[in-house]
Each structure stands twice: as C-alpha cells, then as structure tokens.
Amino acid sequence: MYKRVLGLALAMTNATLRGDVRAHRAALRELRDYHGEHDAEGGAHPFLSETLADYTPSRAAAVKLYHRALRLSRRMGEPQHTILLSLGKLYLDAGNVQAARRNLRAAHREAVRVRDRELSAEARELLEKVHARSTA
C-alpha cells in the first residue's frame, strides 16, 4: 500500500511541476479510487487518507480526510503529528485561529514525543504566526 500511495503522490507532484494538469488529475483519481477500494474492503489506513487529503483541492474535503486519518491513527496507535500539522495549516489559512492553535499545539507535542525535530520546529514557527494574528 505504501509503495503504491507514494508512487501516486510522486506522480501528482511531478505532473504539477511539469504543468501537466491531465496527468495530475488522473493520478488523483486513481488515489481516490484506491482509497475507496480500501474503505470498501474494510482496510482503511491513516496514511492513505492523509495522503489523499494532502492532494485534495477542496479545503473542506481535505479537513474531513485529515480528521478521518486522525481517528484511524489514534485507533491504530500511529503517530499523528503530520496530520495535526496539516490541519493546523489549513485552519490557519482559513483564518480559524482557535482551531489552528489547538492543532498546532497538538502537532508540536506529538512531534516532540516522537522526536521529530524538524516538524516540531515547523509547528513552533506556525504557532508564532497564530499568536501574531491573534494579537494583531
């Protein structure tokens, strides 16, 4: 599953870099279909939902997918820091400072727990932006 999802993510990224909208859409469609197949078979996985959310153009759909990935990762005992960071970024972009702060704080705590220094630093930087926005 990881290999296929990473391959599709790479295909979308490369298509975007080339400006190939059709190839990007085709890979995204394939990823959505693969996600649906896994759901239908009862094999939902947080990595699959998170990756689909990463490439979903609709903010609302991405938020739903990230929350789903979060539920699945909690159930499976998987790390959640990347999902929480992505949610924090989306909420920050949408101007929802309270939700951004909540998710970025959780992302920072989880990143520290799993010793992901780079993501911990990114969450801290974004929390500073949230603080600046809320005091402005």
Same domain, 4 and 54: yes
Same domain, 53 and 1: yes
Non-local CB neighbours of 42 within 8 Å, separated by 6+ positions = none
Confidence of residue 80 (pLDDT cuts 50, 70, 90): very high
Q: What is the DSSP secondary-structure string of 28-68?
A: HHHHHHHHHHHHHTT---HHHHHHHHHH-S-HHHHHHHHHH
Same domain, 49 and 89: no
For residue 102, tell me if it sits in a domain: yes
Cα–Cα distance for residue pair 58/112, rounded to 1 Å: 30
pLDDT at res. 19 = 97
For residue 38, tell me if it sits in a domain: yes
Residue span of the structural domain in which 43 resides: 1-58
For residue 116, tell me if it sits in a domain: yes
For residue 67, tell me if it sits in a domain: no
Q: What is the pLDDT of residues 4-52, one digit of tens each?
A: 999 999 999 999 999 999 999 999 999 999 999 999 998 889 999 999 9
Same domain, 5 and 52: yes
pLDDT at res. 136 = 66
Q: What is the pLDDT of residues 93-117, one digit of tens each?
A: 999 999 999 999 999 999 999 999 9
Retrieve residue 117's tokens.
Answer: 């220094």
Q: What is the DSSP letter of 77?
A: T
For residue 44, tell me if it sits in a domain: yes
For residue 73, tell me if it sits in a domain: no
Domain count, the chain: 2
Same domain, 54 and 83: no
For residue 84, tell me if it sits in a domain: yes
